[in-house]
Amino acid sequence: MATRDQVRRQLHLNLFLHDTGHHEASWRLPESDPHAHLSLEAHQHLARVAEAARFDSLFLADSPVLWGDPGRRPSGKIEPTVLLAALAVSTSRIGLIATASTSYNEPFNLARRLASVDHLSGGRAGWNIVTTAGDAAARNFGLDEQPLHRSRYERADEFLQVATRLWDSWSDDAVVADKEAGVHALRERVRSIDHRGRFFKVDGPLNLARSPQGYPLLVQAGSSEDGKEFAAQWAEAIFTAQPTLEESQQFYADIKRRVAAAGRNPEHVLVLPGIVPVIGETEAEARELDAELDRLIAPQYAVVQLARTLGVDAGRLQLDRPLPADLPDEDAIEGAKSRRTLIVEWARRERLTVRELIGKLGGGRGHRTFTGTPVQVADSIQHYFENGAADGFNIMPAVLPSGLEAFTRHVVPILQERGLFRTEYAGSTLREHYGLPRPENRLDVLAVENRRPA
């Protein structure tokens, strides 16, 4: 397969699916189906629209806890690997990325589920790795409070060590299916991993042959110091929230530097910031839709969510005043550290009131929002891409399905005409879409090295 170094650099586009859309009031529009988050048909339609537009992948967020107040917007989510298995038979080319927590899963079971999706989809699976913040999630798993931020990332690092070794526990050539000899797999090519660590004890091998991609594409979304160091070691794609060009450029350069320092090829780690496009045939039409969505935000719910993110009592936030001056700093926050800092710096820089901040967060929760015509959206994407801020974008339509349909119908053709985005898929696996190499089997490499004479 051709790698990123061998072809002209082009954008990568991932669709971030989120019930009726990323704007928290999207479910209140007349066009919206407030039950779409539980509908296979709704997800199939969105996946097919994105695949027809030649998106690299789609992505499902998840958490092992009920998100926010169920009175605020549609709540609850279908378990993502289950949904991806269903979408695998509804599509044929688009990549399928599921979120799963390293804090509230075990490596063997999760490695097996993700490898299963990679097999069933013909090599299109990806894993968005999260450590999961919040005491509410911890209490669903027998804990009184969440583990410390650093401890969660230490567990995540060991989790990845175990999962990748399990995926490598079968050599690519282990299965021979020799009917005449009566040998299905070569036993010496299926190995235990015998892991004994601080968090896990796992014998292996995995009870599933190595999958088409070797193992699923590894995605990460944390932007704290611990998160960026973890990404430098493990991630192959990074989803990030950066509201300005300057912040995007700084994050991009920092990640590429950390990846190189970790001894990895920076070209093999893609940075995809989120963008929430609100599109109209004219700029005025786009701004009218944006204003309508903001009018539908219910502030009584939004204030509580903001207060939780900032680590303060909701009573301290007054809608028509700025954020309090004495907020807890990032070191005092054990969950979503980078998102908390992004929000506070944004509010301070633009001198936003709590009401104004809620309006901005209602559209993208800290991700960059952009309101305008298809040409203006395409121009903005191209500017970021060509000025050291992104390898592509995590597309987060404010309203679904109409926002995705508008983007694929009007923005994607502009990007294609400019030579910035594919017109056809060149490969069949998610790694091929992203221009990334298939990982070598490290246990095979180790076995060869152990056989060499001293």
What does the alpha-carbon distance between residue 146 and residue 209 come to, in Å, rounded to a whole number? Answer: 35
- Distance between CA atoms of residues 97 and 212, nearest Å: 15
* pLDDT tens, position by position, 145-182: 999 989 999 999 999 999 999 999 999 999 999 999 99
Distance set, CA 217 to CA 68, 115, 177 (Å):
29, 11, 27
- What are the CA-CA distances from residue 442 to residues 119, 138, 207, 264 (Å)? 20, 34, 18, 15
Please provide residue 358's backbone torsions phi and psi, each rounded to the nearest 5 degrees: -60, -40
Asked whether residue 73 carries a pLDDT value surpassing 50, the answer given is: yes
Q: Is the pLDDT of residue 321 over 90?
A: no
The per-residue pLDDT for range 357-375, each reduced to its tens digit, is 776 676 656 678 899 999 9
Assess whether pLDDT exceeds 70 at residue 331: no
- Average pLDDT over every residue of 136-141: 93
**High-pLDDT (> 70) share of the chain, %:** 92
Which CATH number is 4-283+368-451 given?
A: 3.20.20.30
Nearest Cα residue to 398 out of 65, 2, 16, 84: 16
pLDDT of 271: 97
pLDDT the model gives residue 6: 41
* pLDDT 10s digits, 405-433: 999 999 999 999 999 999 999 999 999 99
Q: Residue 313: phi, psi to the nearest 5?
A: -75, 140
Least confident of 78-92, 381-395, 434-448: 434-448
Q: What pLDDT score does 2 carry? A: 44
Amino acid at 173: D
pLDDT in tens, 257-308: 999 999 999 999 999 999 999 999 999 999 999 888 888 877 777 777 778 7
* For residue 447, pLDDT beyond 80: no
Buried b (16+ CB within 10 A) or exposed e, 210-230: bbbbbbbbbbbbbbbebbbbb
Q: What is residue 341's predicted lDDT score, i.e. its pLDDT?
A: 76
Structure tokens at 189: 């090519």
So what's the pLDDT on residue 69?
73
CA-CA distance, 178 to 172, in Å (whole number)? 15
More confidently predicted of 349 and 19? 19
Domains of the chain, by residue range, sit at: 4-283+368-451
**Res. 84 pLDDT band, cuts 50 70 90:** very high
Q: Mean pLDDT throughout 50-61?
A: 97
pLDDT at residue 223 tops 90: no
Residue 424: in which H helix or E strand, if any? none
Q: Which residues, other chains included, contact 406 with Cβ-Cβ below 8 Å and sequence gap of 6+?
A: 279, 374, 397
- 165: tokens are 């070794």
Mean pLDDT for all residues in the chain: 90
* pLDDT on residue 440: 94
Average pLDDT of span 94-106: 97
User: pLDDT category, 339, cuts 50, 70, 90?
Assistant: low
* pTM given for the model: 0.88
